[in-house]
């Protein structure tokens, strides 16, 4: 069977996105809808010249198809009552009324030095949903290019190998005690059909240890929980809008204050590394330690998790009553090592992305099957450059002068340069 999805749109629905984008959008729409922003596609795997691997006319056709998508009445009805973290009223009727009328704004597409220069600009509430389809379209076109060069027998061999690999992963995961694993693989998936297979496989093999998928469309279709909370975009924009250094330093906590005014504990997961985890923990108000979970995204998982445990203890909180969610560059061996290291000391969860939904490299001789580190980040907000420092300087984005300013404000404590794989 061909799982590349040839003949079908790469993104068939506005719900073919990650839950955190819709949850963030509701906050953005309520508080910051008209803030002008720009997003840009960034290929961190510079050795891959994307513009030579993706046909521009086909890319435009797929992006135009995304622009033509609208939230359907059935999709709206499902969102209004979908069980999300224990509640069925996460999305308010007035927000869904607005979402039904949303059409994603135009994009800009050129080529620069062998790379795609793909940009999206406009009011924040209208632009933000471009992030996930931009990534899935480009990644999906690379995969289709690889599969299109194969014979039918080669395609059968490719997916037979990949399915065996997926089943082997599921068997090893099933042996882990107290596992809590979620599919986070939408943005850099091989294809929607392959992500669908991965979600169904883990649901069937792991039982309650599989906690759901970030993909809203698949959660609805397969009947598993939709999972996700917030991302780097929120603090990046609010920091860019900050009028002075004091407001800049406070921006990460402003995000959390706005979030908890809209959502309850089920959705309170801290993402601390936008401007460095060490700086975030050092300056965090005491009330931040009451949040029940934290995702140490770009820090080394063992060292980062230990630092958070120490911080919780310093604040008088019991780590056994808190959860660490790991999601950066995970593979099977890292999941096993992290689970063994922290088991019994703190709650542990995993959001597994690229190595779950795009792990076909080596199943055929096709360079385009190798996943790359592709992101779509906010680059400007309110006419000012947006910055992400990260715990890994290789993941930093933004104008160099602004990066230097942010480092002066937040410091570079805890940063460690590491190769970015995915």
DSSP string of 17-78, one letter each residue:
SBHHHHHHHHHHHHH-TT-EEEEEEEES-TTS-GGGTS-HHHHHHHHHHHHT----HHHHHH
The separation between CA 176 and the C-alpha centre of its own chain, rounded to angstroms, equals 25
Helix, coil or strand: residue 349: strand
Q: Distances from the Cα of 404 to the Cαs of 281, 361, 418, in angstroms?
A: 20, 38, 19
Helix, coil or strand: residue 385: strand
For residue 418, the model assigns a pLDDT of 75
The tokens for 172 are: 């090893």
The tokens for 83 are: 């069980």
For residue 264, the model assigns a pLDDT of 94
What percent of the chain clears pLDDT 70, i.e. is strictly above it? 100
With 90 as the cut, is the pLDDT of residue 86 above it? yes
The tokens for 35 are: 């803030």
With 90 as the cut, is the pLDDT of residue 415 above it? no
The tokens for 297 are: 């995204």
Query: What CATH fold (topology level) applies to the domain 19-410?
Result: nicotinate phosphoribosyltransferase (3.20.140)
Element (H, E) at 302: helix 301-314
For residue 367, the model assigns a pLDDT of 86
Mean pLDDT of 32-53: 96
With 80 as the cut, is the pLDDT of residue 26 above it? yes
With 90 as the cut, is the pLDDT of residue 83 above it? yes
With 90 as the cut, is the pLDDT of residue 165 above it? yes
With 80 as the cut, is the pLDDT of residue 359 above it? yes
SS3 percent helix, strand, coil of the chain, rounded to 5, is 50, 15, 35
pLDDT grade, residue 297 (50/70/90)? confident
For residue 164, the model assigns a pLDDT of 98
For residue 371, the model assigns a pLDDT of 93
The answer to pTM > 0.95 is yes
> Residue 386 in contact with residue 254, Cβ under 8 Å?
no
For residue 49, the model assigns a pLDDT of 96
What average pLDDT does the structure give for the chain? 96
Round to whole Å and give the CA distance between 397 and 10.
Answer: 27
Mean pLDDT of 187-197: 98
Residue with the larger pLDDT of the pair 311 and 2: 311
DSSP state of 289: G
The separation between CA 29 and the C-alpha centre of its own chain, rounded to angstroms, equals 20
Mean pLDDT of 305-316: 98
Round to whole Å and give the CA distance between 227 and 347.
Answer: 17
CA within 13 Å, CB half, 278? 15
pLDDT grade, residue 366 (50/70/90)? confident
pLDDT grade, residue 209 (50/70/90)? very high
For residue 394, the model assigns a pLDDT of 87
Round to whole Å and give the CA distance between 188 and 166.
Answer: 16
Helices (H), 117-244: 124-127, 131-148, 152-174, 192-206, 216-222, 233-241
Phi-psi region for residue 237, left (φ > 0), alpha (ψ -120 to 50) or beta? alpha
Measured in degrees and rounded to the nearest 5, phi and psi for residue 326 equal -105, 140
With 80 as the cut, is the pLDDT of residue 81 above it? yes
């Amino acid at each position: 069977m061909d799982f590349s999805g040839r003949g079908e749109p790469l993104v068939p629905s506005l719900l073919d996105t990650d839950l955190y984008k819709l949850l963030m959008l509701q906050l953005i729409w309520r508080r910051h809808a008209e803030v002008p922003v720009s997003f840009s596609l960034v290929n961190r795997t510079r050795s891959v010249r994307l513009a030579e691997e993706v046909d521009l006319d086909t890319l435009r056709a797929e992006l135009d198809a995304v622009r033509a998508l609208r939230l359907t009445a059935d999709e709206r009805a499902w969102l209004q009552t979908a069980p999300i973290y224990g509640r069925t009223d996460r999305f308010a009727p007035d927000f869904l009324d607005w979402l039904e009328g949303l059409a994603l704004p135009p994009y800009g597409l050129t080529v620069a030095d062998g790379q795609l220069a793909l940009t999206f600009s406009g009011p924040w509430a209208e632009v933000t949903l471009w992030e996930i389809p931009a990534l899935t379209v480009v990644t999906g076109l690379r995969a289709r290019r690889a599969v299109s060069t194969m014979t039918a027998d080669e395609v059968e061999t490719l997916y037979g190998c990949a399915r065996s690999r997926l089943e082997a992963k599921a068997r090893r995961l099933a042996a882990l005690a107290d596992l809590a694993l979620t599919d986070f693989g939408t943005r850099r998936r091989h294809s929607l059909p392959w992500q669908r297979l991965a979600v169904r496989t883990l649901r069937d093999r792991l039982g309650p240890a599989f906690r759901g998928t970030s993909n809203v469309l698949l959660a609805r279709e397969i009947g598993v929980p939709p999972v996700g909370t917030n991302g780097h975009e929120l603090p990046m924009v609010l920091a860019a809008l900050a009028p002075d250094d004091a407001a800049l330093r406070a921006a990460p906590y402003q995000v959390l204050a706005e979030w908890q005014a809209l959502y309850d504990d089920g959705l309170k997961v801290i993402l601390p590394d936008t401007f460095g985890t060490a700086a975030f923990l050092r300056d965090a108000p005491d009330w931040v330690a009451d949040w029940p979970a934290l995702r140490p995204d770009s820090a080394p998982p063992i060292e980062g998790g230990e630092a958070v445990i120490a911080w919780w203890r310093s604040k008088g909180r019991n780590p056994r009553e808190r959860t660490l969610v790991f999601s950066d560059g995970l593979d099977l061996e890292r999941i096993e090592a992290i689970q063994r290291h922290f088991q019994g000391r703190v709650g542990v969860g995993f959001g597994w992305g690229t190595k779950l939904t795009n792990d076909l490299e080596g199943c055929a001789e096709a360079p385009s099957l190798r996943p790359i580190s592709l992101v779509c980040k906010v680059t400007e907000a309110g006419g000012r450059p947006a910055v992400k420092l990260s715990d890994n300087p290789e993941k930093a984005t933004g104008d160099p002068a602004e990066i230097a300013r942010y480092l002066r404000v937040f410091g570079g404590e805890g940063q460690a340069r590491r190769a970015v794989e995915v």
